């Protein structure tokens, strides 16, 4: 027995151990859904984390696009601690000033029209679940069609999973609640064709402005504008999943606010999560305008934890620091310069560098992304193989130019021959 752990880990010694010891304990106690952990991490500071053996890593994944202020940011820590020390949880029978202020802040940065409303969740998948339920209310029986895109990732709960394209994630759990039609990614002709027949039976089109899990794939310019035109014409909802791309990740508050990507498009629903709490779990659904906001009425949806004062304080602190420290402009400039530097390597293994802001996909000329990510980890850099051929970078917004160079140099030093990486 490890004993009850109370207070500081050092007081009991129960949280001491080497990476190898921890990994063994992990495999005996934690369900094997993720496979063995790559490292056991014990501490973070800014863009750096340390493992149980004291080794330091540059964190260019940021907990999968979450830790936008880096680790242990003093403002976030203070805001969460102060709120937990004042009023931690109250249920949604009651409201808190932090919850109300965060809802107002989200509507503000979303430039949502009068009558828009927010529903808070604890995760991305839960925000998508709320969106699916809202869509059902819109559809009634007359709109059975739900459209999503090939490559889409919307989460692992049953409603969100129905919208997720990857067969390995979805098929073992079918039948799911919704029958979803997947359209070829970014294909305008296919989009028009989907509405040309029975277009009035479409309840909603759900899309990520930049597909994250699929390997950082931004929708082509003009696609969202056409999606908005067609959904409006046919009375369908346009649901944008910004769980990964939202809250400054691309250099704008929301990716669909990027001029080429969707500039000017007013969606019906936007989902956010990952970056919103900068490491504290919080998600939200934003419903645009009174008719969409009214689709989920009293008693039609709920949550115990969603929008709790601590999560809301984390959200407010995150948005506040991004604004105070000018991080949107920093994300835009640093991301642009980094992509240029990565392209300028002209490394034979790198076939494309794409993305917006600090959501970057490095496409490799061979399916060796996992091997490269492992090699990076050994070299003290955390990146992620989003697909067999794509490395994903989704680092904290507080990353500096010098730190980006550590990865650029690592990539530049990789062998040109993929065989040497297998
Ligand atoms: C991560 C993600 C989700 C799921 O969020 P969870 O918090 O893991 O449930 C949904 N949509 C997109 C686009 C995501 O990247």
Q: Is 307 helix (H, G, I), strand (E, B) or coil?
A: coil
CA distances from 344 to 292, 295, 338, 348 (A): 46, 50, 10, 11
Specify the DSSP class assigned to residue 145: E
* Alpha-carbon gap, residue 158 to 173, rounded angstroms: 8
51-81: pLDDT as tens digits: 999 999 999 999 999 999 999 999 999 999 9
Q: Please give the mean pLDDT across all residues of the chain.
A: 95
Section 25-45 average pLDDT: 96
CA distances from 244 to 38, 72, 226, 250, 415 (A): 22, 21, 22, 10, 31
Could you tell me the distance, in angstroms and rounded to a whole number, from the CA of residue 126 to the centre of ligand 1?
9
Does 17 score more than 70 pLDDT?
yes
Helix, strand, coil proportions of the chain in percent (round to 5)? 40, 20, 40
Could you tell me the distance, in angstroms and rounded to a whole number, from the CA of residue 304 to the centre of ligand 1?
20
pLDDT given for residue 7 in this prediction: 55
* Alpha-carbon gap, residue 206 to 419, rounded angstroms: 39
Which structure tokens are listed for 400? 């500096």
* Alpha-carbon gap, residue 397 to 278, rounded angstroms: 10
Does 3 score more than 70 pLDDT?
no
| The total number of residues written for the chain in this structure | 422
95-151: pLDDT as tens digits: 999 999 999 999 999 999 999 999 999 999 999 999 999 999 997 678 999 999 999
Q: Please name which of 381, 370, 367 lies closest in space to residue 412, comparing C-alpha atoms.
A: 381
Could you tell me the distance, in angstroms and rounded to a whole number, from the CA of residue 116 to the centre of ligand 1?
23
Q: Which atom of ligand 1 is nearest to the CA of 128?
A: 10
* Alpha-carbon gap, residue 284 to 266, rounded angstroms: 17
Q: Please name which of 242, 7, 166 lies closest in space to residue 15, comparing C-alpha atoms.
A: 7
Strands in 167-287 per DSSP E: 180-183, 202-207, 210-211, 217-218, 237-241, 269-272, 283-287
CA distances from 94 to 90, 97, 172, 228, 308 (A): 6, 10, 40, 36, 10
Q: Please name which of 168, 194, 199 lies closest in space to residue 181, comparing C-alpha atoms.
A: 194
Ligand 1: which of 127, 128, 274, 387 to mutate, most ligand atoms within 8 Å of CB?
Answer: 274
Q: Which atom of ligand 1 is nearest to the CA of 274?
A: 7
* Alpha-carbon gap, residue 333 to 329, rounded angstroms: 6
Using N-to-C axis directions, what is the helix angle for 74-84 and 309-324, rounded to 10°? 150
pLDDT given for residue 114 in this prediction: 98
- Cβ of residue 247 lying under 6 Å from some atom of ligand 1: no
Does 199 score more than 80 pLDDT?
yes
pTM over 0.75: yes
pLDDT given for residue 5 in this prediction: 57
- Is it true that the peptide bond before 368 is cis, omega within 30 degrees of 0? no
pLDDT given for residue 141 in this prediction: 76
Identify the bridge partners of residue 49 per DSSP, sorted by sequence position: 44, 57
383-397: pLDDT as tens digits: 999 999 999 999 999
Could you tell me the distance, in angstroms and rounded to a whole number, from the CA of residue 412 to the centre of ligand 1?
31
- Cβ of residue 151 lying under 6 Å from some atom of ligand 1: no
Identify the bridge partners of residue 392 per DSSP, sorted by sequence position: 361, 384
Q: Which atom of ligand 1 is nearest to the CA of 208?
A: 13
- Cβ of residue 212 lying under 6 Å from some atom of ligand 1: yes
pLDDT given for residue 8 in this prediction: 57
394-417: pLDDT as tens digits: 999 999 999 999 999 999 999 999
- Cβ of residue 282 lying under 6 Å from some atom of ligand 1: no
Does 9 score more than 80 pLDDT?
no
- Cβ of residue 154 lying under 6 Å from some atom of ligand 1: yes
Q: Please name which of 270, 319, 316 lies closest in space to residue 293, comparing C-alpha atoms.
A: 270
Q: Is residue 88 very low, low, confident or very high in pLDDT (cuts 50, 70, 90)?
A: very high
Ligand 1: which of 154, 207, 254, 269 to mutate, most ligand atoms within 8 Å of CB?
Answer: 154
Does 36 score more than 60 pLDDT?
yes
Q: How many degrees, rounded to 5, is the angle at CA 174 between CA 197 and CA 172?
A: 130
- Cβ of residue 244 lying under 6 Å from some atom of ligand 1: yes
* Alpha-carbon gap, residue 32 to 39, rounded angstroms: 15
333-368: pLDDT as tens digits: 999 999 999 999 999 999 999 999 999 999 999 999
Q: Is residue 309 very low, low, confident or very high in pLDDT (cuts 50, 70, 90)?
A: very high
Residue whose Cα lies nearest atom 6 of ligand 1: it is 124
pLDDT given for residue 420 in this prediction: 94
Q: Evaluate whether 135 touches 300 at the Cβ level (below 8 Å).
A: no
* Alpha-carbon gap, residue 110 to 169, rounded angstroms: 31
Section 299-323 average pLDDT: 98
- Cβ of residue 273 lying under 6 Å from some atom of ligand 1: yes
Ligand 1: which of 33, 149, 153 to mutate, most ligand atoms within 8 Å of CB?
Answer: 153
pLDDT given for residue 177 in this prediction: 81
- Cβ of residue 390 lying under 6 Å from some atom of ligand 1: no
* Alpha-carbon gap, residue 276 to 306, rounded angstroms: 13
Q: Which atom of ligand 1 is nearest to the CA of 283?
A: 7
Using N-to-C axis directions, what is the helix angle for 327-344 and 309-324, rounded to 10°? 70
Q: Is residue 15 very low, low, confident or very high in pLDDT (cuts 50, 70, 90)?
A: confident
* Alpha-carbon gap, residue 130 to 137, rounded angstroms: 11
- Cβ of residue 146 lying under 6 Å from some atom of ligand 1: no
- 5 or 252, greater pLDDT: 252
CB atoms within 10 A of CB 13: 11
User: What phi, psi does 211 have (nearest 5°)?
Assistant: -70, 125
Does 6 score more than 80 pLDDT?
no
DSSP string for 267-314: -SEEEE-GGGGBTB--EEEEE-HHHHHTSS-TTSS--SSTT-HHHHHH
Q: How many degrees, rounded to 5, is the angle at CA 19 between CA 15 and CA 21?
A: 70
pLDDT given for residue 61 in this prediction: 98
* Alpha-carbon gap, residue 91 to 369, rounded angstroms: 44
- Cβ of residue 125 lying under 6 Å from some atom of ligand 1: yes
């Amino acid at each position: 027995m490890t004993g009850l752990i109370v207070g500081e880990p050092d007081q009991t010694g129960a949280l001491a151990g080497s990476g190898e010891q921890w990994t063994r304990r992990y495999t005996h106690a934690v369900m094997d859904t993720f496979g063995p952990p790559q490292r056991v991490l014990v501490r973070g500071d800014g863009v750096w984390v340390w493992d149980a053996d004291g080794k330091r890593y540059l964190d260019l994944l940021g907990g999968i696009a979450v830790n936008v202020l880096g680790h242990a940011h003093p403002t976030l820590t203070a805001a969460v601690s102060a709120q937990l020390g004042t009023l931690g949880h109250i249920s949604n029978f009651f409201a808190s000033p932090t919850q109300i202020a965060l809802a107002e802040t989200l509507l503000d940065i979303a430039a949502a029209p009068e009558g828009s409303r927010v529903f808070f969740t604890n995760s991305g998948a839960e925000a998508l679940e709320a969106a699916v339920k809202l869509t059902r209310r819109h559809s009634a029986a007359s709109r059975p069609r739900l459209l999503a895109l090939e490559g889409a990732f919307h989460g692992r709960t049953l409603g969100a999973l129905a919208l997720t394209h990857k067969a390995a994630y979805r098929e073992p759990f079918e039948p799911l609640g919704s029958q979803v039609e997947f359209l070829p990614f970014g294909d305008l002709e296919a989009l028009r064709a989907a509405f040309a027949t029975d277009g009035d039976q479409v309840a909603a089109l759900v899309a990520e402005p930049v597909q994250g899990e699929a390997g950082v794939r931004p929708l082509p310019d003009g696609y969202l504008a056409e999606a908005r035109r067609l959904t409006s014409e046919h009375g369908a909802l346009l649901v944008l999943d910004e769980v990964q791309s939202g809250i400054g990740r691309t250099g704008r508050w929301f990716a669909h606010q990027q001029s080429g990507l969707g500039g000017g498009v007013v969606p019906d629903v936007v989902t956010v999560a990952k970056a919103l709490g900068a490491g504290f779990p919080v998600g939200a659904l934003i419903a645009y305008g009174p008719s969409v906001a009214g689709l989920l009425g009293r008693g039609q949806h709920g949550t115990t934890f969603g929008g709790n004062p601590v999560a809301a304080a984390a959200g407010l602190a995150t948005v506040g620091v991004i604004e105070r420290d000018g991080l949107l402009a920093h994300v835009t400039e640093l991301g642009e310069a980094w992509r240029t530097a990565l392209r300028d390597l002209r490394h034979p293994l790198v076939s494309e560098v794409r993305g917006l802001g600090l959501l970057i996909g490095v496409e490799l000329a061979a399916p060796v992304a996992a091997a490269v990510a492992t090699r990076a980890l050994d070299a003290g850099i955390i990146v992620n193989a989003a697909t067999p051929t794509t490395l994903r970078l989704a680092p904290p917004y507080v990353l500096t130019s010098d730190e980006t160079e550590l990865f650029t140099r690592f990539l530049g030093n990789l062998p040109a021959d993929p065989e040497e990486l297998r």
